[in-house]
Every structure is written in C-alpha cells, then in structure tokens.
C-alpha cells in the first residue's frame, strides 16, 4: 500500500509539472539581405505617448495565422541580423502587429511600455539597436584635435561612456519582442529608423522569426518583479 501511495504521489507531481509545459510553435522563419544587398533608411524614428512607433521606414511585413491555444496566446517576434550606422547615428527598430499601413499605434506596437522615450533615446514605441560615437580627424595638420559626433551633435570631445573609438560597421543585431495576441490572422511589421533623419542606418544578413505559445502561467509578457 505504501508503495502504491508513493507511486501515485510521484505521478501526480509529474502530471502537475507537465501541465505547465509550453510548446512554442514557429509560424514563420524568413531571411533577407544575403545577396550583397542592405536594408537602409535615412528617415527619423518618431512617436508620442498617444501614437507610438511612427516614422522610419517599413522594412519587414509578414501575415500569419495564430492558432487558438489554452489560456490565450503569447507571440515572440525576433530579428537576428548585422547592423551598421554612419556618423554616430542611432539605429532604431519598431515592431507592431496589425498597425494600419504598417505604422504603429498605441494598441499595436510590440513594446510593453510604449508611452515613454527610453534611456536609449528611442522615441515611444522604438528600441535602440546600435549606437556608436564617430570620431573624425583632419589629416596633415599640426595640433589637430580629435572630435566626436553623435546623433547630429558635433565637436564632442569623448565617447558615450569612455568606450573610445568605435567601429560602426557589422555589429551584433538581435532582439525579440513578446506580445499577447489574439488568435486568427495578423500582420507583423518591423520599421527601421534613426535619430536625426540625416545619416543612414542599415541592417544586412537578417533572419526574422515569428513564434507563438500558449500564455505562460507564471508570466505572459508581463513585467518582472525585480
């Protein structure tokens, strides 16, 4: 009898653990810019607390069908690429689901807190992917001073945080958004933008992944307590 009770207890424990298992379903996996091409823009990212995720250029869009899952659905949208930016310009991305004409709105942007400008200087609804100070020198001159520029501001005398002379080409470029989503047909959009609307920002050799799972029981795209 003791052995049967023990086995039933162990089975109940495994059953309880298994009930929380989350299967992630990959709805789409695509690539772009592996042929020597680049995706780029000179258009500034923009957005306000009322209408976040505007500006920039639409650089990726994909229609998917989300299955109905127990407890609702969580979507994971990932870009994995190589990023470039010129003349100390911030390289920003914005994601939205079902934004009209691919442009973000308060209800469609993927950022969980879309109403504020981030510490990365990205406008509401945007994320800063790369940002490096550009240093410039004048050749063949006596007593020349190294001068830095960043986001259109010139004659700066140092880097972002003591990082020194940063190369702005071929930087790691990886981000995943998490967003609660209803079942049925949806269109995922990603926009590329910069800080000033002057200098060019790029990405190349990109993969785009769109995944979905049932809403995790211990945090479905929710804010961490720490």
Q: Are 111 and 127 in contact (CB under 8 A)?
A: yes
The residue that leads in pLDDT, 46 or 118, is 46
Residue 13: what pLDDT? 41
Number of structural domains the chain divides into: 1
| Inside any domain, residue 182 | yes
Q: Give DSSP secondary structure letters for 56-70.
A: SEEEEEEEEEEPP-T
| Inside any domain, residue 154 | no
Give the mean model confidence (pLDDT) for residues 105-129: 94
| Inside any domain, residue 54 | yes
**Both structure tokens of 219:** 């945090």
- Phi and psi (nearest 5°) for 104? -70, 155
pLDDT-based confidence at 69, cuts 50/70/90?
Answer: very high
Q: Are 33 and 74 in contact (CB under 8 A)?
A: no
| Inside any domain, residue 41 | yes
Q: Are 53 and 114 in contact (CB under 8 A)?
A: yes
pLDDT-based confidence at 138, cuts 50/70/90?
Answer: low
List alpha helices for the chain, DSSP H: 2-19
| Inside any domain, residue 71 | yes
Residue 16, C-beta contacts closer than 8 angstroms, at least 6 positions apart = none
Q: Provide the pairing of β-strand 171-181 with 73-85.
A: antiparallel
| Inside any domain, residue 194 | yes
Q: Give DSSP secondary structure letters for 83-120.
A: EEESTT--EEEEEEES-GGG---TTTBS-SSTTS--TT
| Inside any domain, residue 6 | no
Domain span holding position 55: 22-132+167-214
Poorest-pLDDT segment among 31-40, 81-90, 159-168, 193-202: 159-168
Whether pLDDT at 18 is above 80: no
Quick one: DSSP state of residue 200? -
| Inside any domain, residue 208 | yes
Exposure string for 170-195, b = 16+ CB within 10 A, e = fewer: ebebebebbbebeeeebebbbbbbbb
CATH code (residue 54):
2.60.120
């Amino acid at each position: 009898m003791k052995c049967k009770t023990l086995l039933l207890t162990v089975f109940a424990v495994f059953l309880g653990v298994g009930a929380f298992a989350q299967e992630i379903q990959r709805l789409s996996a695509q690539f772009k810019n592996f042929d020597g091409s680049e995706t780029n823009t000179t258009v500034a990212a923009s957005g306000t607390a009322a209408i976040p995720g505007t500006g920039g250029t639409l650089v990726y869009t994909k229609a998917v069908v989300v299955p109905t899952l127990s407890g609702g659905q969580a979507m994971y949208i990932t870009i994995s690429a190589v990023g470039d930016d010129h003349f100390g310009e911030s390289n920003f991305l914005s994601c939205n689901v079902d934004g009209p004409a691919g442009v973000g709105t308060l209800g469609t942007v993927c950022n969980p807190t879309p109403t504020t400008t981030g510490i990365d200087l990205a406008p509401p609804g945007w994320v800063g992917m790369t940002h490096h100070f550009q240093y410039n020198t004048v050749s063949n001159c006596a007593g020349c001073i190294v001068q830095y520029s960043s986001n259109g501001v010139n004659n700066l005398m140092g880097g972002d945080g003591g990082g020194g002379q940063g190369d702005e080409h071929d930087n790691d470029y990886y981000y995943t958004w998490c967003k609660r989503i209803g079942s049925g047909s949806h269109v995922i959009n990603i926009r590329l933008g910069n800080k000033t609307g002057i200098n060019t920002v790029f990405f190349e050799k990109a993969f785009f992944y769109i995944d979905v799972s049932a809403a995790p029981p211990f945090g479905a795209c929710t804010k961490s307590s720490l």
